[in-house]
Structure 1
Amino acid sequence: MTSEFLVGAARSGKSRHASTLAAESGDRVIVLATAIAGDAETRARIARHRADRPREWATVEEPYDLANAVRRHAADGTVVIVDCLTMWLANLHYGVDRPTDRERELDELVGVLDGPPGRVVVISNEIGAGVVPADPHSRAFVDDLGRLNQRVAAVCDRVTLLAVGLPLVLKDMR
Protein backbone atom coordinates (compact mmCIF):
# COMPACT_ATOMS: atom_id res chain seq x y z
CA MET A 1 0.00 0.00 0.00
CA THR A 2 2.00 3.03 1.21
CA SER A 3 4.98 3.82 3.34
CA GLU A 4 5.83 7.14 4.92
CA PHE A 5 9.15 8.11 6.46
CA LEU A 6 9.39 10.76 9.18
CA VAL A 7 12.88 11.95 10.05
CA GLY A 8 14.18 14.73 12.27
CA ALA A 9 16.15 15.61 15.34
CA ALA A 10 15.33 14.43 18.85
CA ARG A 11 12.19 16.15 20.17
CA SER A 12 11.30 17.51 16.72
CA GLY A 13 7.72 16.16 16.81
CA LYS A 14 8.14 12.93 14.80
CA SER A 15 6.10 10.67 17.08
CA ARG A 16 3.38 13.29 17.51
CA HIS A 17 3.16 13.74 13.73
CA ALA A 18 3.00 9.98 13.18
CA SER A 19 0.19 9.76 15.72
CA THR A 20 -1.71 12.55 13.99
CA LEU A 21 -1.36 10.83 10.60
CA ALA A 22 -2.56 7.52 12.03
CA ALA A 23 -5.46 9.06 13.95
CA GLU A 24 -6.66 10.96 10.86
CA SER A 25 -6.84 7.71 8.90
CA GLY A 26 -9.54 6.27 11.15
CA ASP A 27 -7.92 2.85 10.72
CA ARG A 28 -6.70 0.37 13.31
CA VAL A 29 -3.22 1.35 14.59
CA ILE A 30 -0.36 -0.81 15.79
CA VAL A 31 2.83 0.76 17.12
CA LEU A 32 5.98 -1.32 16.72
CA ALA A 33 8.14 -0.03 19.57
CA THR A 34 11.84 -0.79 19.19
CA ALA A 35 13.34 0.66 22.38
CA ILE A 36 14.73 -1.60 25.06
CA ALA A 37 13.98 -0.23 28.54
CA GLY A 38 17.48 -0.64 29.93
CA ASP A 39 17.41 2.23 32.42
CA ALA A 40 14.99 4.44 34.34
CA GLU A 41 15.15 7.33 31.88
CA THR A 42 14.34 5.08 28.91
CA ARG A 43 11.50 3.45 30.86
CA ALA A 44 10.10 6.93 31.55
CA ARG A 45 10.30 7.87 27.85
CA ILE A 46 8.52 4.66 26.87
CA ALA A 47 5.81 5.32 29.46
CA ARG A 48 5.35 8.89 28.18
CA HIS A 49 5.01 7.68 24.58
CA ARG A 50 2.43 5.07 25.64
CA ALA A 51 0.47 7.63 27.65
CA ASP A 52 0.39 10.00 24.66
CA ARG A 53 -1.24 7.39 22.40
CA PRO A 54 -4.94 6.52 22.28
CA ARG A 55 -5.73 3.54 24.51
CA GLU A 56 -7.21 1.52 21.65
CA TRP A 57 -3.90 1.47 19.78
CA ALA A 58 -1.94 -1.75 20.18
CA THR A 59 1.76 -1.60 21.04
CA VAL A 60 4.05 -4.44 20.05
CA GLU A 61 7.57 -4.36 21.44
CA GLU A 62 10.01 -5.54 18.78
CA PRO A 63 13.63 -4.59 19.41
CA TYR A 64 15.22 -6.84 16.76
CA ASP A 65 13.03 -8.63 14.19
CA LEU A 66 11.47 -5.52 12.72
CA ALA A 67 11.04 -6.67 9.11
CA ASN A 68 8.98 -9.70 10.17
CA ALA A 69 6.97 -7.58 12.61
CA VAL A 70 6.04 -5.15 9.82
CA ARG A 71 5.11 -8.10 7.57
CA ARG A 72 2.95 -9.63 10.33
CA HIS A 73 1.07 -6.49 11.31
CA ALA A 74 0.78 -4.37 8.15
CA ALA A 75 -2.46 -5.14 6.34
CA ASP A 76 -5.28 -3.31 4.69
CA GLY A 77 -7.14 -1.31 7.29
CA THR A 78 -4.18 -1.16 9.70
CA VAL A 79 -1.64 1.61 10.11
CA VAL A 80 1.70 0.42 11.49
CA ILE A 81 3.92 3.02 13.16
CA VAL A 82 7.56 1.98 13.52
CA ASP A 83 8.96 3.99 16.45
CA CYS A 84 11.87 4.10 15.74
CA LEU A 85 14.69 3.03 13.41
CA THR A 86 17.32 4.78 15.54
CA MET A 87 16.64 2.61 18.58
CA TRP A 88 16.30 -0.50 16.41
CA LEU A 89 19.68 0.09 14.79
CA ALA A 90 21.20 0.78 18.22
CA ASN A 91 19.86 -2.59 19.36
CA LEU A 92 21.53 -4.26 16.36
CA HIS A 93 24.78 -2.38 17.02
CA TYR A 94 25.01 -2.66 20.77
CA GLY A 95 22.39 -5.20 21.88
CA VAL A 96 23.51 -8.28 23.74
CA ASP A 97 20.23 -10.19 23.68
CA ARG A 98 20.52 -11.58 20.17
CA PRO A 99 23.38 -12.07 17.72
CA THR A 100 22.52 -10.69 14.30
CA ASP A 101 23.67 -10.27 10.73
CA ARG A 102 23.10 -6.51 10.67
CA GLU A 103 23.31 -6.09 6.88
CA ARG A 104 20.77 -8.87 6.30
CA GLU A 105 18.41 -7.27 8.84
CA LEU A 106 18.73 -3.88 7.11
CA ASP A 107 18.17 -5.41 3.66
CA GLU A 108 15.07 -7.25 4.88
CA LEU A 109 13.53 -4.14 6.42
CA VAL A 110 14.16 -1.99 3.35
CA GLY A 111 12.65 -4.74 1.19
CA VAL A 112 9.49 -4.84 3.29
CA LEU A 113 9.12 -1.05 3.18
CA ASP A 114 9.42 -1.07 -0.62
CA GLY A 115 5.74 -1.82 -1.18
CA PRO A 116 4.39 -2.88 2.23
CA PRO A 117 1.13 -4.83 2.43
CA GLY A 118 -0.52 -1.98 4.39
CA ARG A 119 0.17 1.57 5.50
CA VAL A 120 3.45 1.94 7.39
CA VAL A 121 4.78 5.12 9.02
CA VAL A 122 8.48 4.84 9.90
CA ILE A 123 10.21 7.20 12.33
CA SER A 124 13.96 7.84 12.52
CA ASN A 125 16.37 10.42 13.85
CA GLU A 126 18.63 12.64 11.80
CA ILE A 127 21.79 12.47 13.89
CA GLY A 128 24.48 13.20 11.31
CA ALA A 129 24.09 16.97 11.17
CA GLY A 130 26.37 17.69 14.13
CA VAL A 131 29.99 17.22 15.03
CA VAL A 132 31.66 13.99 13.90
CA PRO A 133 31.80 11.74 16.99
CA ALA A 134 35.24 11.27 18.57
CA ASP A 135 35.08 7.50 19.04
CA PRO A 136 34.99 4.92 16.22
CA HIS A 137 31.91 3.05 17.54
CA SER A 138 29.81 6.22 17.58
CA ARG A 139 31.07 7.23 14.12
CA ALA A 140 30.12 3.81 12.76
CA PHE A 141 26.63 4.11 14.26
CA VAL A 142 26.09 7.62 12.83
CA ASP A 143 27.32 6.43 9.42
CA ASP A 144 25.11 3.31 9.49
CA LEU A 145 22.01 5.27 10.50
CA GLY A 146 22.66 7.86 7.78
CA ARG A 147 22.93 5.11 5.16
CA LEU A 148 19.83 3.34 6.50
CA ASN A 149 17.85 6.59 6.47
CA GLN A 150 18.85 7.17 2.84
CA ARG A 151 17.78 3.65 1.85
CA VAL A 152 14.44 3.96 3.64
CA ALA A 153 13.80 7.41 2.13
CA ALA A 154 14.49 5.99 -1.34
CA VAL A 155 11.79 3.29 -1.06
CA CYS A 156 9.11 5.14 0.91
CA ASP A 157 6.28 6.85 -0.93
CA ARG A 158 6.45 9.95 1.22
CA VAL A 159 9.32 11.47 3.22
CA THR A 160 8.76 14.25 5.73
CA LEU A 161 11.39 16.14 7.70
CA LEU A 162 10.20 17.35 11.10
CA ALA A 163 11.85 20.46 12.54
CA VAL A 164 10.56 22.27 15.62
CA GLY A 165 7.28 20.41 15.30
CA LEU A 166 6.71 21.50 11.72
CA PRO A 167 6.51 18.98 8.85
CA LEU A 168 8.39 19.70 5.62
CA VAL A 169 7.52 17.22 2.87
CA LEU A 170 10.68 16.24 0.98
CA LYS A 171 9.15 13.58 -1.28
CA ASP A 172 5.58 12.65 -2.16
CA MET A 173 4.99 9.84 -4.66
CA ARG A 174 1.43 9.04 -3.54
Structure 2
Amino acid sequence: AEAEDGEMAQRIAKHRAERPTHWQTLETPQWVGAAVAAVDPTAYEVVLLDCLTMLASNVLLALPEAVDAQTAEDALTAEIEALLAVYERTASHWIIVSNEVGLGIVPAYALGRLYRDVLGRANQRLAAAADTVLFMVAGLPMKVK
Protein backbone atom coordinates (compact mmCIF):
# COMPACT_ATOMS: atom_id res chain seq x y z
CA ALA A 1 0.00 0.00 0.00
CA GLU A 2 1.07 3.55 -0.59
CA ALA A 3 0.45 6.33 1.90
CA GLU A 4 -1.86 8.85 0.25
CA ASP A 5 -2.71 10.56 3.55
CA GLY A 6 -1.64 10.73 7.18
CA GLU A 7 -3.96 8.01 8.39
CA MET A 8 -2.65 5.56 5.79
CA ALA A 9 0.93 6.50 6.67
CA GLN A 10 0.15 5.61 10.29
CA ARG A 11 -1.33 2.27 9.27
CA ILE A 12 1.74 1.41 7.21
CA ALA A 13 4.06 2.42 10.05
CA LYS A 14 2.08 0.22 12.46
CA HIS A 15 2.33 -2.78 10.13
CA ARG A 16 6.07 -2.25 9.75
CA ALA A 17 6.52 -2.02 13.52
CA GLU A 18 4.56 -5.26 14.07
CA ARG A 19 6.68 -7.31 11.67
CA PRO A 20 9.26 -9.62 13.19
CA THR A 21 12.66 -7.91 13.14
CA HIS A 22 14.32 -10.85 11.38
CA TRP A 23 12.06 -10.54 8.34
CA GLN A 24 13.66 -9.04 5.28
CA THR A 25 10.95 -6.92 3.72
CA LEU A 26 10.59 -5.76 0.14
CA GLU A 27 7.86 -3.20 -0.43
CA THR A 28 6.92 -2.44 -4.00
CA PRO A 29 3.51 -1.42 -5.36
CA GLN A 30 4.02 -3.00 -8.82
CA TRP A 31 6.40 -5.21 -10.79
CA VAL A 32 6.65 -7.51 -7.79
CA GLY A 33 7.97 -10.46 -9.80
CA ALA A 34 10.91 -8.41 -11.08
CA ALA A 35 11.54 -6.94 -7.62
CA VAL A 36 11.58 -10.37 -5.97
CA ALA A 37 13.83 -11.78 -8.70
CA ALA A 38 16.28 -8.91 -8.16
CA VAL A 39 16.86 -9.87 -4.49
CA ASP A 40 17.59 -13.56 -5.21
CA PRO A 41 14.54 -15.32 -3.77
CA THR A 42 16.44 -18.63 -3.80
CA ALA A 43 18.11 -17.43 -0.58
CA TYR A 44 14.83 -17.50 1.34
CA GLU A 45 12.94 -20.37 2.90
CA VAL A 46 9.65 -18.46 2.71
CA VAL A 47 8.39 -15.71 0.42
CA LEU A 48 5.21 -13.95 1.60
CA LEU A 49 3.26 -11.74 -0.82
CA ASP A 50 0.73 -9.64 1.05
CA CYS A 51 -1.35 -9.02 -0.94
CA LEU A 52 -2.34 -9.82 -4.51
CA THR A 53 -5.49 -7.76 -4.06
CA MET A 54 -3.50 -4.56 -3.55
CA LEU A 55 -1.14 -5.46 -6.39
CA ALA A 56 -4.11 -5.87 -8.74
CA SER A 57 -5.49 -2.53 -7.61
CA ASN A 58 -2.14 -0.82 -8.19
CA VAL A 59 -1.81 -2.35 -11.66
CA LEU A 60 -5.30 -1.27 -12.73
CA LEU A 61 -5.06 2.23 -11.28
CA ALA A 62 -1.75 2.81 -13.08
CA LEU A 63 -3.45 2.23 -16.44
CA PRO A 64 -5.12 5.02 -18.44
CA GLU A 65 -8.63 5.79 -17.19
CA ALA A 66 -10.37 4.63 -20.38
CA VAL A 67 -8.53 1.31 -20.58
CA ASP A 68 -10.30 -1.63 -22.18
CA ALA A 69 -10.83 -4.89 -20.32
CA GLN A 70 -8.30 -6.86 -22.37
CA THR A 71 -5.50 -4.35 -21.74
CA ALA A 72 -6.23 -4.47 -18.01
CA GLU A 73 -6.31 -8.26 -18.07
CA ASP A 74 -3.01 -8.36 -19.97
CA ALA A 75 -1.33 -5.98 -17.50
CA LEU A 76 -2.28 -8.05 -14.47
CA THR A 77 -1.53 -11.32 -16.26
CA ALA A 78 1.99 -10.05 -16.98
CA GLU A 79 2.45 -9.41 -13.24
CA ILE A 80 1.16 -12.88 -12.35
CA GLU A 81 3.32 -14.62 -14.94
CA ALA A 82 6.40 -12.71 -13.70
CA LEU A 83 5.65 -13.89 -10.16
CA LEU A 84 5.15 -17.47 -11.30
CA ALA A 85 8.42 -17.40 -13.24
CA VAL A 86 10.27 -16.50 -10.03
CA TYR A 87 8.25 -19.02 -8.00
CA GLU A 88 9.15 -21.83 -10.40
CA ARG A 89 12.89 -21.07 -10.09
CA THR A 90 12.97 -21.35 -6.30
CA ALA A 91 12.58 -24.05 -3.71
CA SER A 92 11.12 -21.45 -1.36
CA HIS A 93 7.73 -21.93 0.27
CA TRP A 94 5.47 -19.18 -1.10
CA ILE A 95 2.48 -17.75 0.71
CA ILE A 96 0.34 -15.43 -1.39
CA VAL A 97 -2.49 -13.58 0.31
CA SER A 98 -5.45 -12.43 -1.77
CA ASN A 99 -9.06 -11.49 -1.25
CA GLU A 100 -12.02 -13.22 -2.85
CA VAL A 101 -13.86 -10.17 -4.14
CA GLY A 102 -16.32 -12.18 -6.23
CA LEU A 103 -18.44 -13.21 -3.24
CA GLY A 104 -20.19 -9.86 -2.87
CA ILE A 105 -22.63 -7.99 -5.03
CA VAL A 106 -21.75 -7.02 -8.59
CA PRO A 107 -20.18 -3.54 -8.42
CA ALA A 108 -22.30 -0.73 -9.83
CA TYR A 109 -19.41 0.86 -11.71
CA ALA A 110 -17.31 -0.46 -14.61
CA LEU A 111 -13.90 -0.23 -12.91
CA GLY A 112 -15.19 -2.21 -9.94
CA ARG A 113 -16.55 -4.95 -12.19
CA LEU A 114 -13.32 -5.04 -14.18
CA TYR A 115 -11.28 -5.26 -10.96
CA ARG A 116 -13.42 -8.09 -9.63
CA ASP A 117 -13.14 -10.04 -12.87
CA VAL A 118 -9.38 -9.69 -13.45
CA LEU A 119 -8.54 -10.36 -9.79
CA GLY A 120 -10.73 -13.46 -9.89
CA ARG A 121 -8.85 -14.79 -12.91
CA ALA A 122 -5.50 -13.93 -11.30
CA ASN A 123 -6.55 -15.84 -8.17
CA GLN A 124 -7.51 -18.81 -10.36
CA ARG A 125 -4.14 -18.75 -12.15
CA LEU A 126 -2.19 -18.70 -8.90
CA ALA A 127 -4.41 -21.36 -7.33
CA ALA A 128 -3.80 -23.63 -10.32
CA ALA A 129 -0.03 -23.30 -9.80
CA ALA A 130 -0.20 -23.73 -6.02
CA ASP A 131 0.27 -26.96 -4.13
CA THR A 132 -2.16 -25.85 -1.41
CA VAL A 133 -4.98 -23.30 -1.42
CA LEU A 134 -6.64 -22.17 1.79
CA PHE A 135 -9.75 -20.00 2.07
CA MET A 136 -9.91 -18.13 5.36
CA VAL A 137 -13.34 -17.58 6.92
CA ALA A 138 -13.58 -15.82 10.29
CA GLY A 139 -9.92 -16.61 10.89
CA LEU A 140 -10.41 -20.31 10.22
CA PRO A 141 -8.75 -22.08 7.27
CA MET A 142 -10.83 -24.09 4.82
CA LYS A 143 -8.68 -26.26 2.56
CA VAL A 144 -9.69 -25.80 -1.08
CA LYS A 145 -6.78 -27.65 -2.66
Whole-angstrom distance in 2 between the partners of 1:73 and 1:124: 23
Whole-angstrom distance in 2 between the partners of 1:60 and 1:74: 11
Partner of residue 56, structure 2: 89
Partner of residue 63, structure 1: 29
**Greater length-normalized contact order (CA 8 Å, ≥ 6 residues apart):** 1
Q: Decide which of 95, 101, 121 is 1:121's aligned counterpart.
A: 95
TM-score, length-scaled by structure 1: 0.68
Q: Which has the larger radius of gyration?
A: 2
> Which stretch shows the higher mean deviation, 149-158 or 75-84?
75-84
Q: Decide which of 13, 16, 36 is 2:2's aligned counterpart.
A: 36
> Which stretch shows the higher mean deviation, 87-96 or 156-165?
87-96
Whole-angstrom distance in 2 between the partners of 1:42 and 1:150: 30
Deviations 1:34-68 (A, max 9, x none): x2222233323322322222112122111111112
Partner of residue 81, structure 2: 107
Q: 3-state DSSP class of the match of 2:104?
A: coil
| 1:58–1:80 distance in 2 versus 1, CA, 3 Å | same
Q: 3-state DSSP class of the match of 1:60?
A: coil
Unaligned runs of 5+ in 1: 1-34
Contact (CA 8 Å) 2:133, 2:144: kept in 1 or not?
yes
| 1:116–1:44 distance in 2 versus 1, CA, 3 Å | farther
Q: 3-state DSSP class of the match of 1:167?
A: strand
Unaligned runs of 5+ in 2: 64-71
Whole-angstrom distance in 2 between the partners of 1:166 and 1:86: 20
Whole-angstrom distance in 2 between the partners of 1:132 and 1:52: 35
Q: CA RMSD in A?
A: 2.1
Partner of residue 147, structure 1: 121
Which amino acid letter does the alignment assign opposite residue 157 of structure 1?
A: D
**Identity of counterpart residues, as a percentage?**
41
Whole-angstrom distance in 2 between the partners of 1:95 and 1:139: 17
Residue 80 (str. 1) matches residue 47 (str. 2): yes
Matches of residues 13-52 of structure 1 in structure 2 within 5 Å? 35-52=1-18
TM-score, length-scaled by structure 2: 0.80
Contact (CA 8 Å) 2:80, 2:126: kept in 1 or not?
no
| 1:89–1:40 distance in 2 versus 1, CA, 3 Å | same
